[in-house]
Amino acid sequence: MDFYGHVIDGEEAASLSGATFSSTDPHTRRPWAEAALGDGADADRAVSAARRAFDHGHWPRMGTAERGRILHRLADLIEEHAEDIALADTQDMGKPITQSQGNDVPRTAANFRFFADHARLSTSESYPMDTGHHAYTRFDPAGVVAAIAPWNFPMMLESWKVAPALAWGNTVVLKPAEDTPVSATLMARLALEAGMPPGVFNVLHGYGPDSAGQALTEHPAVDRITFTGESGTGRVIATAGARHLTPVSLELGGKGANIVFADADLAGAVEWSIRAVFTNSGQVCLAGSRLYVQREVYDEFLTRFAAAADALVVGDPRDPAVQIGPLASAEHHAKVAGYVDTIAEQGGTLRTGGLGDGWTIRPTVITGMDHTARHAREEIFGPVVVVIPFATEAEAIELANDTPYGLNAMLFTENLHRAHRVAAVLRAGTVWVNCFFVRDLRAPFGGVGDSGIGREGGTFSREFFTEPKAVVMQIDPAADRDRPRSSRGRSAR
Ligand code: NDP
């Protein structure tokens, strides 16, 4: 088995304790890679390296163009090594190779390119004052960023944090999920090859609670904590951040509502709804796992939707023909299987799907279940969807908004007015109309309620990863002198 170390201060390193853990391939259910198992001492080593690189290194003081050149080189290297990186994520967590190679790796490279360019092309606001002064905004790097990521889109979600943090001149310690350690080490190796100075981008492997992850969030030398994962973990991390008043950004769970109106293009709605819930075997925070269909088209939609779900190819995720791989771990499979086993208990009917071989769950469509049942309310994080009929637009909105989550929603309609009207009142960070998973990196991404705090993307990432500073210059001393002493230096407003 190959070994993947922490990457600290430009060196790939074992843990100080010498401890390791293995990553299991969910298809073979055998260990396939070994990684360093970090603890508090390793977290301290990684944060200290990032601190030194921030306080004394060149990276935060480099121009955005010079940093951008290195980040673009890193994107090139990610593309050159696409096959290895995609295979690493597929073997770590079972996602079909067509998704890791066709979506995750290109989007990772695109994230580095976008944030490099965004930082370089950014402008800042200035405020001419009628007191003879002029104020403008600087966006200075915040410092050391702790980035904690989940296992469902390993490298891609890590790049959502690492790319803007680095582009804005911060140094980073990334802790990937314990189920998916490999691609993070690959990314850090490539960053060094791209010319990133030692200590700027560090990777710390290990577990979350009472271990490396927790030590990272509680470290006093960390200036920002950016986390993606479960809502419960988000609460723990927000509490850890509160101890040192460290700003925290939380991208958490979801239970996406997908509304199909009778006036939708049904063929398109079926195709997108399949993608919305079965991509990555349903292990997507944005999954459209509550599917509300207007009564007039319910039977026809359901027939087509169930047939399309049934036609998805389940199997070895390394096979390019396979669309549904195994779930990421034995523990996660047991959780999702628990929902499949209790469909009848919760009043539902299994229309198609059910348990598969090994850690797979076949695309599972549930009907006849009430909106209040557990399956319709809790984040299952697997290829399981509850289909519920509705009568009116008002009812659909009420059902969709009746959730503690608020990450995203989808709606399918050919009525332009309805599209805008409904999108405006859905309580969610993103609403997709007649599509799913399409992103503009300048747009805000994040959730309301239990789905998180803060937004990522474009200027939203800049706000989080920098300390905006107001600089006020005296431009016209005469104008200031002419003002009464008591109001000198203050705007008339
Ligand atoms: P977890 O919350 O279990 O773990 C996420 C990361 O946090 C892992 O690296 C984990 O380490 C670490 N961690 C766990 N506990 C602590 C702690 N006390 N202190 C510091 N770090 C900790 O989430 P999953 O990995 O299971 O990911 C699935 C979840 O992520 C789902 O709820 C999904 O909806 C959400 N998600 C949200 C997205 C969004 O953008 N809103 C996108 C993708 C996923 P370890 O691996 O050792 O447990």
For 174-229, what is each residue's pLDDT tens digit? 999 999 999 999 999 999 999 999 999 999 999 999 999 999 999 999 999 999 99
242 and 278 share a domain?
no
C-alpha 283 to ligand 1 mean position (Å): 12
Q: Which atom of ligand 1 is nearest to the CA of 445?
A: 40
324 and 273 share a domain?
yes
Domain that holds residue 391: 257-433
Which residues pair with residue 387 across a beta bridge? 291
- Is 230 an annotated catalytic residue? no
Residue 483 lies in a domain: no
CB atoms inside a 10 Å sphere around CB 36: 28
C-alpha 229 to ligand 1 mean position (Å): 3
Residue 185 lies in a domain: yes
Using the predicted structure, report yes or no on whether residue 491 has a pLDDT greater than 70.
no
Q: How far is CA 228 from CA 94, 110, 250, 308, 426, in A?
A: 19, 19, 6, 31, 23
- Is 251 an annotated catalytic residue? yes
Structure-token match 């002419």, residue found: 482
> Active site residue: 251, 379, 393, 456, which one?
251
Residue 308 lies in a domain: yes
Beta strands in 2-114 (DSSP E): 2-4, 6-8, 11-13, 20-25, 30-36
230 and 277 share a domain?
no
CATH code of the domain covering residue 214: 3.40.605.10
**Number of independent structural domains in the chain:** 2
Residue 439 lies in a domain: no
Q: Is the CB of 285 under 6 A from ligand 1?
A: yes
> Is 328 within 8 Å of 179 (Cβ atoms)?
yes
C-alpha 208 to ligand 1 mean position (Å): 9
Backbone phi, psi, residue 386, to 5°: -105, 125
Using the predicted structure, report yes or no on whether residue 467 has a pLDDT greater than 60.
yes
C-alpha 150 to ligand 1 mean position (Å): 4
101 and 202 share a domain?
yes
d(CA 28, CA 1): 14
Residue 492 lies in a domain: no
In the structure encoding, which two tokens stand for residue 306, read together?
Answer: 């169930």
DSSP 196: P
d(CA 162, CA 155): 10
User: What average pLDDT does this structure show over 235-260?
Assistant: 97
Q: Which atom of ligand 1 is nearest to the CA of 254?
A: 34
Count Cβ atoms within 10 A of the Cβ of residue 264 and give its class: 0-12 exposed, 13-18 middle, 19 or more buried.
Answer: buried
For the CA atoms of 373, 377, 380, 384, what is the dihedral angle to 10 degrees?
60
> Is 332 within 8 Å of 381 (Cβ atoms)?
yes
**What is the reported pTM?**
0.96
178 and 69 share a domain?
yes
Using the predicted structure, report yes or no on whether residue 371 has a pLDDT greater than 80.
yes
- Among 233, 380, 437, the mutation site with the greatest number of ligand 1 atoms within 8 A of its Cβ is 233
190 and 311 share a domain?
no
- Among 39, 225, 228, 455, the mutation site with the greatest number of ligand 1 atoms within 8 A of its Cβ is 228
